[in-house]
């Protein structure tokens, strides 16, 4: 069914979650082996931690930056990038912060939760490469603290990414969710917005989601990579 929907669609938008990244080897957050089983996110990954527990905050995120650099996009990321060039999909909305979509060549990407590929100064806003953390350089030339350019607990989503995601969701006639539990708000509202605006909704995820009843098709029994490779071979 997804193959037919994709072939008939004039405006396909893809929404990716942690499952897209775990197929590259990156750990997720909420599974039994996820990062949040060992760390309390409200204490570490928050604006309060940045302000009050700087050393612990920096060490945690340095490990995350190093972790992302150990892995790379998988074939599914490259298939999506190819489809964008071919006009098969129009854009990607992602909850992931690894930057793998852009590394694979995707251009129209809304990073709802920011990226670990960049840092910026908490004081003056100047941008830096995440290599600064690798080299243990944690301070800006203005002496402000360098922090990852991600959304921390207690912060709003980046306005540009949010507005782009909203517009794309409203335009979509096919909205494909890849590897998201759809439990994090407000990001999980975009599939519903697409559906309310007339889009077909397809959810590809290993586990069931609360949004499955609204979907036109749900695929639980295949990995994202398998689904994308099969579709790619059909074009």
- Look at the block and give the residue holding tokens 């928050």: 46
| Domain pair 1-25+73-113+156-234 / 27-70+115-150, same fold | no
Annotated binding-site residue? 173:
no
Per-10-residue mean pLDDT, the chain, length 235? 95 97 78 50 80 91 92 96 98 97 98 97 97 97 96 93 98 98 95 98 96 97 96 88
101 is a catalytic site residue: no
User: Do 129 and 52 contact (CB within 8 A), yes or no?
Assistant: no
Q: CA-to-CA distance for 159 and 162, rounded, in angstroms?
A: 5
pLDDT at 31 (0 to 100): 43
User: Do 188 and 211 contact (CB within 8 A), yes or no?
Assistant: yes
pLDDT at 29 (0 to 100): 53
User: Do 194 and 167 contact (CB within 8 A), yes or no?
Assistant: no
Annotated binding-site residue? 40:
no
* CATH superfamily of the domain spanning 27-70+115-150: SIR2/SIRT2 'Small Domain' (3.30.1600.10)
83 token code pair: 């489809």
pLDDT at 30 (0 to 100): 46
pLDDT at 71 (0 to 100): 93
Annotated binding-site residue? 219:
no
pTM metric for this prediction: 0.92
Active-site pick, 55, 74, 113, 120:
113
8-state DSSP, 212: G
Annotated binding-site residue? 140:
yes
pLDDT at 39 (0 to 100): 59
Q: CA-to-CA distance for 91 and 172, rounded, in angstroms?
A: 10
Residue ranges per structural domain of the chain: 1-25+73-113+156-234, 27-70+115-150
pLDDT at 153 (0 to 100): 87
pLDDT at 45 (0 to 100): 84
Annotated binding-site residue? 18:
yes
For 123-177, what is each residue's pLDDT tens digit?
A: 999 999 999 999 999 999 999 999 999 999 889 999 999 999 999 999 999 999 9
CATH of the domain spanning 1-25+73-113+156-234, picked from 3.90.25.10, 2.40.37.10, 3.40.50.1220, 2.102.10.10? 3.40.50.1220
pLDDT at 44 (0 to 100): 82
Annotated binding-site residue? 22:
yes
């Amino acid at each position: 069914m997804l193959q037919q929907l994709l072939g008939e669609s004039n405006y396909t938008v893809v929404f990716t979650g942690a499952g897209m990244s775990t197929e590259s080897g990156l750990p997720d957050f909420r599974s039994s082996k996820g990062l949040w089983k060992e760390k309390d996110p409200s204490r570490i990954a928050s604006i309060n931690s940045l302000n009050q527990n700087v050393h612990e905050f920096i060490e945690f995120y340095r490990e995350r930056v190093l972790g992302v650099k150990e892995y790379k996009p998988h074939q599914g990321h490259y298939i999506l990038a190819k489809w964008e060039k071919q006009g098969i999909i129009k854009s990607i909305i992602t909850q992931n912060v690894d930057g793998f979509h852009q590394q694979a060549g995707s251009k129209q990407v809304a990073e709802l939760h920011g990226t670990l590929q960049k840092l910026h100064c908490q004081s003056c806003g100047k941008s830096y490469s995440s290599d600064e953390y690798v080299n243990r350089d944690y301070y800006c030339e203005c002496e402000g603290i360098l922090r990852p350019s991600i959304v921390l607990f207690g912060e709003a989503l980046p306005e540009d990414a949010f507005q782009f995601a909203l517009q794309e969701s409203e335009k979509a006639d096919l909205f494909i969710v890849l590897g998201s539990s759809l439990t994090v708000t407000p990001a999980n509202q975009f599939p519903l917005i697409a559906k309310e605006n007339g889009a077909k909704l397809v959810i590809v995820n290993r586990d069931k989601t609360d949004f499955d009843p609204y979907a036109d098709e749900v695929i639980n029994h295949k990995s994202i990579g398998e689904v994308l490779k099969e579709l790619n071979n059909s074009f």
